[in-house]
Structure 1
């Protein structure tokens, strides 16, 4: 386990951090998750329906137990980013980012809170200085905020060098499903085009001192493979996938032993 400041430093210096996707808002979940030896939890609001009040409770509970809550917001919207941070998230993952302009706007939301509007725009474009006192305030106010963007399209890869040069970016997170679709090789995770893209993202991110992660939900081989290539933000599976996979295996074992026909397990849920 680690706090947000430690995780931010780890992402940038290449130290591996471990987490999983949490979909359940059950109040029993955080204490049990804490026993698994992970560093953070990934809470998705892009594909999973989470009430704002419920999401805040989840973030506060995990944070109180020493796990860093990272929330993926539904869209590249700066106001949504500040909302989840106000609710207790330690970090924001921004989905389907493709341009420098998007990253700059989100950088303002995550690293320059509580500034907004035209003043924030002038600070980000360099036309205004905020002064030594305000700089100290903003640095202290946002020192624990982790800023991560999803790289999951061909366009994002083409803009990656420029994106990685934007200050304050802590990590990039590869979205395997969307990336494979963007490359016209849907769900072909062993296709040379997909493998080349993942390798390029990891290598470039690490060369800029930015963390690199991927969210896999099937097996563990890919996580190990890419970690050996420099990937250091490992998000493995989800509570829902783990439940289905484990229980499916148990029932298959029981039914086979009793001579009943086992039902083939459905594919893992892609989130």
Structure 2
């Protein structure tokens, strides 16, 4: 029987409603804990753009588990060892950046899933299996295959150029669409009135690509993740109305910075 702290439930929640999370860049476990207290569904723990190795993520994963928020770890690349290690330390899912080829798509599944879905290395002496304590090997790999999420990132034109073939790879649970990198892969700076144009999802080339992913992924039971920029109700609702069911509500640096700016403008400036 698996300890309740390590029961995976995000897939179950996603079947009922959209889920909401935040990216954690800082490496601060306390920020991850706060997501759970605030009622977020998942923590997007980033190891691609942050100065920590995958094996140093365990405190953030433990912080997420302690408050009931699902830890999703973004590894640095499509690599079977990195993917496996993130899941073994207790992540509920892996997010894999810059998946550009069918082979890389298959690596995402092979590293995360046990046979017959993939070729993940097996060992029960890991946190995800409670180190073999009161959890049998068969129970471990069956539950892992059923509940852990594989989330490749569509953030390059190569992904959408072969979208049908990408989505035909079995074992993928969701696609994380990255509008900024996708726009840059096209050497395209979207024309918007203010804000970060690389994240424009208002009839931009990135928006068109995302809609195509949604139209082809969701009928297959594959979720779609995308960022609400800025993280407002209005922007989140636009994404959900389009068919996104995993919404990223900003990141710890951005949201903390926005709070500091508000304090500076609303209070500090009045005393200077």
Q: TM-score range by the shorter chain?
A: 0.7 to 0.9
Q: Which residue of 1 aligns with 2:259?
A: 246
> Whose Rg is larger?
1
For these two proteins, the number of residue pairs brought into alignment is 241
Normalising by the residue count of structure 2, what TM-score does the alignment of the two structures yield? 0.79
* 2:250 partner SS: strand
Q: Deviation per CA, 1:207-266, whole angstroms, max 9, x where unpaired?
A: 2210001124424243221211111001111111111011112101225434x4xxxxxx
* Residue of 193, 203, 207 corresponding to 1:195: 207
Q: Deviation per CA, 1:135-187, whole angstroms, max 9, x where unpaired?
A: 88742453332100100121101222112122221000011210111233233
Normalising by the residue count of structure 1, what TM-score does the alignment of the two structures yield? 0.79
| CA distance in structure 2 between the aligned counterparts of 1:44 and 1:65, rounded to whole angstroms | 19
* Residue of 123, 142, 145 corresponding to 1:142: 145
> CA separation of 1:50/1:216 partners in 2, compared to 1, >3 Å: closer, same or farther?
farther
| CA distance in structure 1 between the aligned counterparts of 2:7 and 2:174, rounded to whole angstroms | 13
Gaps of 5+ in 2: 122-136, 190-196
1:37 aligns with 2:1: no
1:161 aligns with 2:164: yes
Gaps of 5+ in 1: 118-133, 261-271
| CA distance in structure 1 between the aligned counterparts of 2:140 and 2:33, rounded to whole angstroms | 34
1:100 aligns with 2:112: no
Q: Which residue of 2 aligns with 1:223?
A: 236
- Off by >6 Å, runs of 4+ in structure 1: 134-137
* 1:228 partner SS: helix
| CA distance in structure 1 between the aligned counterparts of 2:59 and 2:39, rounded to whole angstroms | 21
Q: Which residue of 1 aligns with 2:224?
A: 212
Q: How does 1:79-90 map to 2 (within 5 A)?
A: 79-90=81-92
User: Relative contact order, CA 8 A, sep 6+: which one is greater?
Assistant: 1
Q: Which residue of 1 aligns with 2:133?
A: none
Q: How does 1:44-83 map to 2 (within 5 A)?
A: 44-83=46-85
